[in-house]
């Protein structure tokens, strides 16, 4: 297998070997990634080939209004090579949370990457960008998030919006959204954007997206909401281990009832799995140990737009905008039905008074006919 | 006896609702009832304390199947009615539903005054839909479309069928399944309120006018007085 190594720009494989991993470890990593990406078995070779021949793709990773849980999730993805290689020394030219450099040095490193790899680097963004009051709510190095993002996006090959903050605003954009927190795709509209929602997204999913870009040199196939199809085309519900209870109509009513002990479906205690597109029930979390539904807690739908404002987490209802907190469609509907029934009753009474003549005429006419028929 | 005979009206039979319109109406009514009932159950299933295993039961799956099957029937029935709006008789024509001229608006106002607010006495005479009813049906057609789009948008994730696949754009377009489910659920209430008012008004017209309003959706006939027949004909020819 041809191995091209350019001085100064190493391949991923070089870094991996240098780091002390064996080729066997490397191949295991390739096999795992190919599986996550949903490739056929020959895809393993494709991944291995790419990592041995491709120069590392420079990555700039920006943090705005967020909690860093996306980064935390990423460095905990199940294979150590993800953390060690994709992140630690090889790709991330700039990430506030994890890089060694700080202050002026860090900014210089970023500027250098942006200049040297103009049009080549991948810009990863974690967090929302506040736009209210000229963006003063999030400033780094004396500049606003919006300014930094626009500058970095100008030379990026593509953007990756990590996590729900960058994808849909998450909690910062929840009502009343005091800082006008704005997701990335509403600010940068002229670059390809991959949205990887979740709070946080699964580490393996994040690694998978990056490995795909490295392996194929293209963006992964995206769905209508710009999410990678490999990870977001199925609902959590579709591969849920409690799905059989759902179809059987066996539901947990409260978290401490007999049904909860039996592991029934959590639909009625607010599980949002049936509306949530994510890989949790396939990939699971913490090296595939578990995921919320397996652990007895419903899905809160963290990878869906607007999930904070969509209603209570532990009840199967959705609030309705403009009708006060916790009013749902059924309450409003029943109110409207009662009003309608009242209106109809009033109308029926009014009809018998106002249209008395018409009705009387019909009755008289009908009765006369009846009498005549008897004769 | 003579003066009473003078009072009697001679009724003339008019064929208003063709068979396809009547069949459409009752399929639609049945589908809506099934969809509302199953939809309610899907939205808030009853709690069952049951000692058995999941494989012994499939009732929730069956309820969902009924909902989806009725939805397909509802969709195609609706599409058929749209088609019939172009090829059916003049009472089924799309022009009964969409206000295209001033007369339509004038009639709507008349119906509102006579039948709804009852600030004007007498009766409003129309053979097919009156203008206000027609316009309300136009709104229900919009609600049908909303319900089909949001419903099949939700269903798209569960099916690989061609028709379901045609709705994959809906979920991203409207901001995900959360929003879809909310609007799908809310729109159901329009159907329930509509059904209440619709059934009431059918009884109202039958009661006040005595022209066979209720039975017209069975046999297709309505009956109008001879003089009304003449009057309407002279109006249109004038």
Name the residue facing A355 among B177, B192, B208 (closest C-beta): B208
Give me the torsion for CA of A355, A356, A359, A362, rounded to 10°.
Answer: -120
For chain A, which residues make up each domain, given as ranges? Answer: 58-232, 234-318, 330-374
pLDDT for the residue A82: 67
> Which residues on chain A are in Cβ contact (under 8 Å) with B122?
358
Tokens 């939805």 locate to B71
Residue A47 pLDDT greater than 90, yes or no: no
ipTM of the assembly?
Answer: 0.85
Taking an 8 Å cut-off on Cβ atoms, the answer to whether B48 and A336 are in contact is no
Name the residue facing B60 among A249, A318, A359 (closest C-beta): A249
pLDDT for the residue A175: 87
pLDDT for the residue A306: 87
pLDDT for the residue B232: 77
Q: Return the H-helix or E-strand segment holding A139.
A: strand A139-140
pLDDT for the residue A90: 41
Name the residue facing B178 among A251, A318, A333 (closest C-beta): A318
pLDDT digits (tens, 9 = 90+) for A158-174: 999 999 999 999 999 99
DSSP class per residue in B122-146: S----SS--HHHHHHHHHHHHHHHH
The token duo for B115 is 């039948």
Residue B190 pLDDT greater than 90, yes or no: yes
Mutating which of A242, A248, A367 best tests the B interface, going by the most B Cβ atoms within 10 A? A248
Specify the CATH superfamily of domain A234-318.
Cytochrome-c3 hydrogenase, C-terminal domain (4.10.480.10)
pLDDT for the residue B75: 97
Averaged pLDDT for residues A74-78: 77
Name the residue facing B54 among A250, A307, A368 (closest C-beta): A250
CA B137 – CA B143 distance, rounded (Å): 9
Which of the four pLDDT bands, split at 50, 70 and 90, describes residue B125? confident
pLDDT for the residue A76: 79
CA B127 – CA B232 distance, rounded (Å): 10
A-contacting residues in B 82-141 (Cβ below 8 Å): 116, 118, 121-123
Which of the four pLDDT bands, split at 50, 70 and 90, describes residue B33? very high
Taking an 8 Å cut-off on Cβ atoms, the answer to whether B61 and A354 are in contact is no
- Establish, for the pair of chains A and B, how many residue pairs have beta carbons separated by less than 8 Å: 150
Q: Measured between alpha carbons, how far apart are the two ends of chain A, in Å?
A: 110
Which of the four pLDDT bands, split at 50, 70 and 90, describes residue A190? very high
CA A147 – CA A150 distance, rounded (Å): 5
CA A180 – CA A62 distance, rounded (Å): 19
Give me the torsion for CA of B225, B195, B62, B60, rounded to 10°.
Answer: -170
Averaged pLDDT for residues A130-141: 91
With contact defined as beta carbons under 8 Å apart, do A104 and A140 qualify?
A: no
With contact defined as beta carbons under 8 Å apart, do B130 and B111 qualify?
A: yes
Tokens 């907190």 locate to A325
Taking an 8 Å cut-off on Cβ atoms, the answer to whether B176 and A225 are in contact is yes
Give CA angle at B91 (B86, B93), nearest 5°.
Answer: 20
More confident residue, A104 or A325: A104
Backbone φ, ψ for residue A9 (5° rounding): -125, 95
CA distance B101 to chain A (A): 29
A-contacting residues in B 59-78 (Cβ below 8 Å): 59-61, 63
CA distance B161 to chain A (A): 16
Burial class of residue A294, CB neighbours in 10 A (0-12, 13-18, 19+): middle
pLDDT digits (tens, 9 = 90+) for A8-23: 567 888 878 887 888 9
Residue B181 pLDDT greater than 80, yes or no: yes
pLDDT digits (tens, 9 = 90+) for B133-148: 999 999 999 999 999 9
More confident residue, B77 or B54: B77
pLDDT for the residue B81: 96
CA atoms within 13 Å, Cβ hemisphere of B175: 12
> Which residues on chain A are in Cβ contact (under 8 Å) with B9?
365
Taking an 8 Å cut-off on Cβ atoms, the answer to whether B48 and A332 are in contact is no
Name the residue facing B192 among A333, A350, A357 (closest C-beta): A333
Listed in sequence order, the residues at least 6 apart from A203 whose beta carbon sits closer than 8 Å to its beta carbon are: A73, A74, A75, A76, A77, A78, A82
A58-232 CATH:
3.40.50.700
> Which residues on chain A are in Cβ contact (under 8 Å) with B7?
361, 364-365
pLDDT for the residue A91: 47
For chain B, which residues make up each domain, given as ranges? Answer: 10-45+56-237
Which of the four pLDDT bands, split at 50, 70 and 90, describes residue A338? very high
Averaged pLDDT for residues B189-215: 93
> Which residues on chain B are in Cβ contact (under 8 Å) with A333?
186, 188-189, 192-193
CA B209 – CA B224 distance, rounded (Å): 10
What fold characterizes domain B10-45+56-237? Fumarate Reductase Cytochrome B subunit (1.20.950)
For A191-224, b/e burial (b = at least 16 CB within 10 A) is: eebbbbbbbbbbbbbbbbbbbbbbbbeebbebbe
Q: Find the range with the poorest average confidence among A2-16, B19-33, B220-234.
A: A2-16
CA A202 – CA A80 distance, rounded (Å): 15
CA distance A354 to chain B (A): 7
CA B10 – CA A85 distance, rounded (Å): 94
DSSP3 helix / strand / coil % (chain B, rounded to 5): 70, 5, 25
> Which residues on chain A are in Cβ contact (under 8 Å) with B158?
238
CA distance A41 to chain B (A): 25
pLDDT for the residue A368: 86
What is chain A's mean pLDDT, rounded?
86
Which of the four pLDDT bands, split at 50, 70 and 90, describes residue B5? very low
């Amino acid at each position: 297998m041809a191995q091209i190594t350019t001085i100064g720009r190493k391949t991923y494989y070089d870094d991996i070997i240098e780091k002390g991993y064996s080729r066997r470890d490397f191949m295991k990593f390739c096999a795992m990634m190919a599986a996550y990406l949903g490739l056929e078995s020959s895809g393993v070779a494709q991944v291995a080939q790419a990592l041995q021949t491709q120069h590392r793709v420079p990555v700039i990773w920006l943090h705005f209004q967020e909690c860093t849980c996306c980064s935390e999730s990423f460095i905990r993805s199940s294979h150590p090579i993800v953390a060690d290689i994709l992140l630690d020394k090889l790709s991330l030219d700039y990430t506030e949370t994890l890089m060694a450099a700080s202050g002026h040095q860090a900014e210089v490193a970023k500027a250098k990457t942006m200049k040297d790899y103009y049009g080549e680097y991948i810009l990863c963004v974690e967090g929302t960008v506040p736009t209210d009051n000229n963006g003063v709510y999030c400033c780094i190095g004396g500049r606003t998030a919006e300014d930094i993002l626009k500058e970095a996006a100008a030379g990026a090959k593509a953007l990756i919006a990590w996590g729900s903050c960058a994808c849909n605003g998450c909690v910062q954009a929840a009502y009343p959204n005091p800082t006008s927190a704005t997701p990335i795709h509403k600010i940068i509209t002229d670059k390809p954007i991959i949205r990887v929602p979740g709070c946080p997204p699964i580490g393996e999913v994040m690694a998978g997206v990056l490995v795909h870009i490295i392996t194929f040199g293209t963006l992964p196939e995206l769905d209508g909401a710009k999410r990678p199809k490999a990870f977001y085309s199925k609902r959590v519900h579709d591969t849920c281990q409690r799905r059989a209870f759902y179809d059987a109509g066996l539901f947990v009513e409260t978290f401490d009832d007999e049904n909860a002990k039996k592991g029934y479906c959590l639909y009625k205690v607010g599980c949002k799995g049936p509306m949530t597109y994510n890989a949790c029930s396939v990939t699971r979390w913490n090296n595939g140990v578990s995921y919320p539904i397996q652990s007895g807690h419903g899905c809160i739908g963290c990878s869906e737009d607007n999930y904070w404002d969509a209603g209570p987490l532990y009840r199967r209802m959705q609030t309705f905008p403009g009708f006060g907190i916790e009013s749902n469609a059924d309450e409003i509907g029943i109110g409207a039905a009662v009003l309608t029934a009242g209106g109809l009753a009033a109308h029926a009474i009014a009809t018998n008074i106002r249209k008395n003549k018409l009705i009387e005429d019909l009755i008289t006419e009908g009765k006369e006919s009846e009498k005549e028929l008897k004769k | 006896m003579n003066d009473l005979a003078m009072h009697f009206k001679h009724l003339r039979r008019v064929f208003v609702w063709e068979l396809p319109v009547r069949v459409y109406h009752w399929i639609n009514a049945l589908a809506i009832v099934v969809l509302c009932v199953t939809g309610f159950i899907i939205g808030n299933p009853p709690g069952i304390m049951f000692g058995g295993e999941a494989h012994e039961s499939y009732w929730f799956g069956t309820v969902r199947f009924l909902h989806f099957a009725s939805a397909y029937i509802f969709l195609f029935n609706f599409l058929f009615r749209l088609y019939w709006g172009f090829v059916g008789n003049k009472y089924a024509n799309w022009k009964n539903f969409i206000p295209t001229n001033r007369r339509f608006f004038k009639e709507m106002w008349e119906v509102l005054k006579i039948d709804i607010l009852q600030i004007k006495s007498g009766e409003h005479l129309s053979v097919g839909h009156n203008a206000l009813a027609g316009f309300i049906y136009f709104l229900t057609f919009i609600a049908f479309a909303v319900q089909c789009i949001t419903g099949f948008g939700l269903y798209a994730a569960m099916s690989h069928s061609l028709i379901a696949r045609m709705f994959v754009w809906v979920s991203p377009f409207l901001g995900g399944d959360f929003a879809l489910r909310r609007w799908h659920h809310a729109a159901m209430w329009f159907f329930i309120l509509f059904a209440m008012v619709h059934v009431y008004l059918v009884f109202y017209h039958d009661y006040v006018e005595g022209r066979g309003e209720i039975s017209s959706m069975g046999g297709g006939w309505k009956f109008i007085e001879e003089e009304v027949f003449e009057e309407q004909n002279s109006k249109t020819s004038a």
